[in-house]
Structure 1
């Protein structure tokens, strides 16, 4: 059965104002938001190809230095939970500009960090203040009509995915030739320049929530409780991001091992290979608009599962590794776009909070995946990493297939139909 929004118990949203109508969103604005998403989300992923270099600087093991990647994603999760909901209460443009300036300061702090402890602290704050894309995506959804929402969100998300993956390529090259600290200085400069551009070009976007901050946060629980579709999407997102993160956090260790003997610049190039997954963003959005979110979501999950099977048996061969990276990133993009298209159709006045619930779960998964990936690499090497990714992919499929649907045992009572 399809998810039925009208049959879902409606949560109580305090002090919501009527949502104004908007003219069609301009293509130039969509591209601006996409580029911004890519540049800001890159802050979270610069460290991944640099982990081995950072470990050498501070004399740390692979498993311990992977804490930098994990804590950055923990910070991003905290930003999603406590900052992104403000997009339904505060004017989004002003909030975005303030976050970008804070991110610039924290990136400079990471570049300067004289100890590993200070680098970890700066990484946590970088994650918190880099939650800007999760304010821009609901903003894009609010500006788009129902008929084009999936396509618009898909385009903005293509910028996000390109930022995630190309950031690894740039970071790996800069780290190999100029040192890992240089990359954080560059990131700080990019945030300052981006702040100036957005101050001139980004339109103001008024909120629809007039209650207190406490009531805003309480409504997150209300939304989660009353919308089974949101819960299902959040759990699927958690599983898929966990597997995705386990792979990308440990890839640099695999490539620098005796299997390949590559360095951080080559490891970063795999981000460029994976960026081909951005091509799936418009396709996923159109599929969600035309055939429903579940159609594209199921395809994406199966692609991710298949990619980890290929990584397990073919990852020791360069051709197999490259092919698996492309399949994994296409699958991940399709699941993510489909999930967001599904949740944004639930309650238009609460899109920032819906996105908060979904993305908080997703980055809890990403943090968990980074940690489990690091542990799996330390104890079982590449087969362990592939097993972690495969287990999360299968779990995501089972959740989407059975959770909150009629005929699924206990979950029957949770169904929205």
Structure 2
């Protein structure tokens, strides 16, 4: 499919004007945003859950992948890093297209190509082929961010935080349930079966979206693709909110990736020796993070985003204390997982609400620029976590995660002190 075939047709423009003038009611008569019913918001959330899960299926499967392809434990974490590298490339080169092209066609194209990439992972017979396929999986998984920007465009300003929070809840559930689903499917059909099943689900969801996806209420940008990409880099220079919130994203997702990448290693090793399914169950413990997401968005709408960030970063730093006790208490590990996921998603939703409010005219470019920080942080966390565990053990991994978390908290404190000093002078 060419770029020209993705551009808005005359009928699409007319449909967008209609959507802008009329708010679509939900079955109960309520709406979550202009032109976006609660039913549509729920569909967006499910789409994001399925798409983002593709990035995280590998984490409980690292040991099996390494054994299958004869890769050593201290380098198998590169699988996660390769996926994040593809994700970062997609954020820079694909997500901005949401401000230029028909978003419905862009989303559908990404989902179908994602299915192809997932099949390539399942068929991989060498280390190089696996890494290449995982890069493509990450590249196509950025459909999540196209959808998030889509929701931000459809939402009214006073409801944007809540709508983004609801969709982000779907993202969180996808991240957490991915580990459980991949573990359960792997126990039944092997790690390759996980990716074939996901490919089939992506094709099915694309068919649903083809029939139900609304069109954007915002006309496409008039810039060329090159100009659009250039403007993404300009946003880093001109938008302080993006730089500040992006720094938070890099640090919190580095901590997040440290936990979820390395956690499978002590859980699957003696004396615990848990199965894929049992390891994946820990993802369910983090569902509290999904529950926090929508609430954090509402707090940001009320002007309490900065306070929410500070409280969440304190919880994030403290979460590593019970997490360090995994070998002596699985219950303590559960507490640590709940605290970490709650904190990370609260900051993440707040970040997105604030950056979208800063530039309503550049939603796709903003989310692409912001999520690059996320991808870099996730990649750093993944590769450092597996190396640290292989050479120094689980205690060192927890110190690494606590270091990322503590730096984020110190950064927030420095911003608070600077802000207060400016107000008193």
Say yes or no: TM over 0.5: yes
Match of 1:26 among 37, 51, 55: 37
Residues in 2 aligned to 1:331 and 1:407: alpha-carbon distance in whole angstroms: 23
- The residue that corresponds to 2:31 in the other structure is none
Residues in 2 aligned to 1:33 and 1:176: alpha-carbon distance in whole angstroms: 30
- The residue that corresponds to 1:3 in the other structure is none
C-alpha change, 1:207 and 1:186, in structure 2 (3 Å) is: farther
Residues in 2 aligned to 1:85 and 1:396: alpha-carbon distance in whole angstroms: 28
Match of 2:118 among 107, 112, 116: 107
**Is residue 252 from structure 1 mapped to residue 264 from structure 2 by the alignment?**
yes
Shifted more, 170-179 versus 231-240: the winner is: 170-179
Residues in 2 aligned to 1:333 and 1:241: alpha-carbon distance in whole angstroms: 10
Tell whether the 8 Å contact from 1:173 to 1:264 is kept in structure 2 after alignment.
yes
Residues in 2 aligned to 1:314 and 1:67: alpha-carbon distance in whole angstroms: 24
- The residue that corresponds to 1:152 in the other structure is 163
Residues in 2 aligned to 1:74 and 1:101: alpha-carbon distance in whole angstroms: 20
- The residue that corresponds to 1:191 in the other structure is 202
**Is residue 45 from structure 1 mapped to residue 56 from structure 2 by the alignment?**
yes
Match of 1:231 among 233, 243, 263: 243
Shifted more, 304-313 versus 159-168: the winner is: 304-313
Match of 2:305 among 259, 282, 293: 293
- The residue that corresponds to 2:381 in the other structure is 369
Shifted more, 198-207 versus 234-243: the winner is: 198-207
Residues in 2 aligned to 1:313 and 1:56: alpha-carbon distance in whole angstroms: 27
**Is residue 56 from structure 1 mapped to residue 58 from structure 2 by the alignment?**
no
Tell whether the 8 Å contact from 1:301 to 1:393 is kept in structure 2 after alignment.
yes
- Cα RMSD over matched residues? 2.0
TM-fit CA distance, 1:169: 0.1
Kindly provide the CA deviation profile for residues 147-205 of structure 1, in whole angstroms up to 9, marking residues without a partner as x.
Answer: 11111100000000000110110000111221001001001101111111111100122
Tell whether the 8 Å contact from 1:288 to 1:295 is kept in structure 2 after alignment.
no
TM-score relative to the length of structure 2? 0.89
Tell whether the 8 Å contact from 2:115 to 2:202 is kept in structure 1 after alignment.
yes
Residues in 1 aligned to 2:271 and 2:310: alpha-carbon distance in whole angstroms: 33
- The residue that corresponds to 1:390 in the other structure is 402
Pairs within 5 Å for 1:199-238: 199-205=210-216, 206-238=218-250
TM-fit CA distance, 1:405: 7.5
Shifted more, 217-226 versus 180-189: the winner is: 217-226
Match of 1:343 among 332, 355, 361: 355
Residues in 1 aligned to 2:208 and 2:399: alpha-carbon distance in whole angstroms: 44
Match of 1:167 among 173, 178, 193: 178
TM-fit CA distance, 1:223: 1.3
**Is residue 125 from structure 1 mapped to residue 136 from structure 2 by the alignment?**
yes
Tell whether the 8 Å contact from 1:280 to 1:330 is kept in structure 2 after alignment.
yes
- The residue that corresponds to 1:98 in the other structure is 109
Residues in 1 aligned to 2:350 and 2:369: alpha-carbon distance in whole angstroms: 15
TM-score relative to the length of structure 1? 0.91
**Is residue 275 from structure 1 mapped to residue 287 from structure 2 by the alignment?**
yes
Shifted more, 298-307 versus 309-318: the winner is: 309-318
SS, match of residue 355 in structure 1: helix
TM-fit CA distance, 1:271: 1.0
Residues in 2 aligned to 1:316 and 1:66: alpha-carbon distance in whole angstroms: 25
**Is residue 321 from structure 1 mapped to residue 303 from structure 2 by the alignment?**
no
Residues in 2 aligned to 1:350 and 1:405: alpha-carbon distance in whole angstroms: 30
List gaps (5 residues or longer) in structure 1.
1-18
Match of 1:73 among 84, 92, 95: 84
Residues in 2 aligned to 1:386 and 1:213: alpha-carbon distance in whole angstroms: 43
Kindly provide the CA deviation profile for residues 322-369 of structure 1, in whole angstroms up to 9, marking residues without a partner as x.
Answer: 111111111111010010111010010101111111101111000010
Tell whether the 8 Å contact from 1:75 to 1:125 is kept in structure 2 after alignment.
yes
TM-fit CA distance, 1:145: 1.2
TM-fit CA distance, 1:403: 4.9
TM-fit CA distance, 1:399: 2.4
